[in-house]
């Protein structure tokens, strides 16, 4: 069985080295496993919750798409798309919103943190909080449930959201599934082995600490950032302590065990920090230089990126469109074509979509036609004085049993209790007429549910 892996990347920033080692690289490695069916997407609807700067949103979508592709994501193997290109996702979000408990969402960490901050500042608890922020977990549940993901690789801060997706999905299954499980229950996947890179100052590398090393911007910028890595003040020739050096931790995240061993030995033997930084730069440049070139090639051809993402959206929608159709059906958003029949003849419906259409003549009398599913007129009724009688006749015909059909030349008539109630059209010959009799019988045959 294949495992469906899905994760989203919120498009508000430019990926840095920490994102690469912590999320992008492991995701690409996982996508190459033979039993993996991976879905990676740009969570640009989520980005709108955090950011109201259109240029930044647009720039970030472009940069993140180019980063993943440049880093080696194979779009033939995986499904790579933008959330906002899948209209089924906001639609599913609404269906889920209607079953998600408000109390559940009140407990979401991100929302609670904003409320706490407001309360602390003596403000209204909901000051500045949008419905987007409040409903963030429902949109994320739709992302995950839309594709029935088994595993959702995320950071620890997102575990609660995956649990909420389970909760909401289960509720929907229970309410509308009638024993069928529409949604698979997703699991958060926390990769313990994945590197959390330290930033320039030794704290976790993060944009909010302003301590990042850029990933693909340029060799010079990467070099400049590396030169700002904080080290201790030991001079060249003095032994360094690799285990207490985040420069060494960064090196290890990209080196082979042999390279790491050699670097460690050299540090212990007094390698100067300046030289150590040069070595780190060389390692990163050799690991990432080619991908950086790919990145710049992609960024310069946004129309090609657009094509790739459109193809990804098409691939995703081949799953999302029919699945959402089933879900709409389940909640009662159904085509009237099927519902009319159930309403008109709840027990015995006219077979294969045949239907009675009533109308009023100019003289005020009532008549009806029986039309086959393809629109062919099977019968035209005689005139009835009132609608009630016409309705009673259609109901009797729908009982379908023991039809009294009498042929007359190349046409036929239908009789009820000794009175002729309807006529067929005239056919080309007797064979055509008999075939039409069969179609009529089929159309009026009682149906088993
Ligand atoms: N909320 C996630 C984050 O900030 C991004 C995201 C959106 C996501 N939809 C998702 C992650 C679905 C996993 C699955 O990191």
Give the tens place of pLDDT for each residue, 28-73.
Answer: 999 999 899 999 999 999 999 999 999 999 999 999 999 999 999 9
Q: Which of 154, 207, 316 should be mutated for ligand 1, with most atoms under 8 A from CB?
A: 154
Sequence spans of domains, the chain? 3-100+135-194+301-331, 216-291, 346-444
How confident is the model at residue 345, as a pLDDT?
Answer: 45
Residue 379, strand partner residues:
370
Given a contact cutoff of 8 angstroms between Cβ atoms, the answer to whether 371 and 357 are in contact is yes
- Higher-confidence residue of 235 and 446: namely 235
pLDDT average, residue stretch 244-264: 95
For the chain, the average pLDDT equals: 92
Given a contact cutoff of 8 angstroms between Cβ atoms, the answer to whether 36 and 30 are in contact is yes
Given a contact cutoff of 8 angstroms between Cβ atoms, the answer to whether 127 and 118 are in contact is yes
pLDDT average, residue stretch 79-97: 98
CA 176 to centroid of ligand 1, rounded, Å: 26
Distance CA 313, CA 315 (A): 5
Domain 3-100+135-194+301-331, second-level architecture: 3-Layer(aba) Sandwich (3.40)
How do the residues of the chain divide into helix, strand and coil, expressed in percent and rounded to 5?
55, 15, 35
Given a contact cutoff of 8 angstroms between Cβ atoms, the answer to whether 291 and 71 are in contact is yes
Torsion sign (Cα): 221, 224, 226, 230: negative
Give the tens place of pLDDT for each residue, 346-389.
Answer: 444 445 578 888 888 888 889 999 988 888 889 999 999 988 89
Q: Whose CA is nearest to atom 13 of ligand 1?
A: 7
* % the chain with pLDDT above 90: 80
How confident is the model at residue 343, as a pLDDT?
Answer: 47
Instruction: Kindly state the greatest CA–CA separation across the chain.
Output: 118
CATH fold of the domain at 346-444: PH-domain like (2.30.29)
pLDDT(159) > 90: yes
Alpha-carbon distances, residue 71 vs 61, 156, 161, 190, 239 (angstroms)? 15, 24, 27, 21, 36
Write down the CATH number for the domain with range 216-291.
1.10.240.10
Q: pTM for the whole thing? A: 0.74
Give the tens place of pLDDT for each residue, 171-230.
Answer: 999 999 988 899 999 999 987 777 789 999 999 999 989 999 999 999 999 999 999 999
Given a contact cutoff of 8 angstroms between Cβ atoms, the answer to whether 195 and 253 are in contact is yes
Burial 203-233 (b: 16+ CB within 10 A, else e): eebeeeeebbbebbbeeeebbebbeebebee
Lining residues, ligand 1, CB within 6 Å: 6-8, 10, 43, 46, 140, 143-144, 152, 154, 158
How confident is the model at residue 347, as a pLDDT?
Answer: 45
């Amino acid at each position: 069985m294949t495992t469906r892996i899905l994760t989203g990347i919120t498009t508000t920033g430019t990926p840095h080295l920490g994102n690469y080692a912590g999320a992008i690289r492991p995701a690409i490695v996982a996508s190459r496993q033979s039993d993996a069916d991976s879905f990676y997407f740009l969570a640009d609807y989520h980005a709108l919750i955090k950011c109201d700067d259109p240029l930044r949103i647009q720039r970030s979508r472009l940069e993140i798409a180019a980063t993943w592709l440049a880093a080696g994501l194979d779009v033939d193997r995986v499904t790579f798309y933008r959330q906002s290109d899948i209209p089924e996702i906001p639609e599913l979000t609404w269906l889920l919103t209607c079953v998600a408990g408000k109390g559940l969402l009140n407990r979401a960490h991100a929302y609670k943190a904003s409320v706490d901050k407001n309360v602390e500042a003596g403000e209204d608890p909901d000051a500045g909080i949008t419905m987007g922020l409040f409903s963030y977990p429902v949109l994320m549940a739709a992302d995950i449930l839309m594709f029935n993901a088994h595993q959702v690789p995320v950071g620890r801060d997102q575990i609660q959201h995956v649990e909420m997706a389970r909760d909401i999905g289960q509720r929907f299954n229970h309410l509308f599934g009638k024993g069928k499980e529409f949604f698979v229950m997703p699991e958060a996947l926390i990769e313990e082995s994945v590197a959390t890179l330290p930033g320039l100052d030794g704290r976790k590398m993060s944009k909010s600490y302003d301590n990042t090393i850029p990933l693909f911007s340029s060799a010079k910028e990467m070099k400049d950032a590396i030169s700002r890595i904080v080290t201790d003040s030991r001079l060249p020739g003095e032994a360094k302590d690799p285990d207490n050096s985040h420069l060494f931790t960064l090196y290890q995240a990209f080196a082979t065990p042999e390279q790491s061993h050699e670097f460690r030995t050299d540090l212990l033997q007094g390698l100067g920090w300046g030289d150590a930084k040069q070595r780190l730069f060389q390692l990163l440049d050799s690991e990432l230089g080619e991908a950086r070139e790919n990145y710049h090639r992609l960024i310069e051809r946004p129309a090609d990126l657009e094509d790739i993402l459109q193809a990804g959206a098409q691939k995703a929608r081949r799953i999302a469109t029919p699945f959402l159709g089933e879900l709409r059906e389940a909640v009662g958003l159904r085509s009237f074509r099927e519902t009319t029949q159930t309403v008109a003849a709840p027990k015995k419906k006219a077979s294969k979509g045949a239907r009675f259409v009533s109308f009023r003549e100019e003289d005020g009398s009532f008549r009806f036609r029986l039309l086959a599913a393809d629109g062919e007129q099977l019968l035209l009724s005689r005139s009835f004085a009132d609608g009630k009688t016409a309705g009673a006749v259609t109901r009797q015909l729908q009982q379908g049993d023991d039809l009294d059909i009498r042929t007359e030349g190349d046409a036929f008539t239908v009789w009820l209790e000794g009175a002729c109630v309807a006529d067929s059209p005239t056919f080309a010959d007797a064979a055509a007429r008999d075939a039409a009799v069969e179609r009529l019988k089929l159309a009026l045959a009682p149906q088993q549910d």
